[in-house]
Structure 1
């Protein structure tokens, strides 16, 4: 298989049928998939199970999604949006620390294992990866990028920061620990990772 560009992979995200009825069916299936994911992880969210729980036929499900992993990726993005909200209390450094602490707690909670399962599925299937990125990752990265930009505007971070690199700097260690299990993601560990990342991005590293 040749190398795929981001545009190639994003093209694998199918446009679901349009119209009020189709949208209602889409949301009904997503809600059912979310419940199944929370209860039993990715293995529980089969097409048969989603069809049975939602009352949406398998034929219709396949008109909306190409696979059960695609349904799960979109449903997980919906769940993540409910559980994690970017804070905006007027103090960008404090907002950043609070959000990353919430992320750490999310990863080590029940849904953290679902996240790990989906990341594993992405490694083996470009279509799953496209859905995961479109319905989960992209929105999370946009939200966190806005938080990093607020840290830049406040003078807390340097102005020459690459936003994508800054996002990976904070999230990379947490995701790696979640997937490999070689180290903890407890509150102290997350705080230490934040401190190390902040030092590299500070406008004035010597200031307190």
Structure 2
């Protein structure tokens, strides 16, 4: 058998294999006909939770779909995604930075609780309106972890009051089991390596 014959045989077997795979895939996809607003959770110790969530926000913006962001912890520091959205896409995406930084920076629990409660009130308002296709609750899991917001209230609201076609994305480490239970999509970012451990600080364009 010549080299060209061997290549032709490999190509033919590959095409047959891919045709079977496509047929199986098409059969599965034909059963997926429902649409609904998803509850999406990005959690875990690894980097990329907010980054992935903002990727979905920018997809909404690209499709001309109204959306909103509520930041529960991150404070006054400028970030690339916030600056870009406010400067160029504020007609499609509302952006609310409600926190004042991580709790070890403010060192004022009462103030942190008040800010988190205000952020949660804004989040409920945006979600309940049904006017936004997606609402991102950035770092809300941290506020829940420190009991600034009651997890039972969050779960009850999302389960009973979220409009059917509104997507809600919740980010932050240590997502509660109750939240994971009602979510439609949960991704846990796993930490393998991080430059911070090698003495490298947060850098523009990577972390913010």
TM-score by shorter chain over 0.5: no
What is the TM-score with the length of structure 1 in the denominator?
0.28
For CA contacts below 8 A with separation 6 or more, give which structure has more relative contact order: 2
- The structure in which a higher percent of residues are helix is 1
- The structure in which a higher percent of residues are strand is 2
What is the TM-score with the length of structure 2 in the denominator?
0.28
Larger Rg: 2
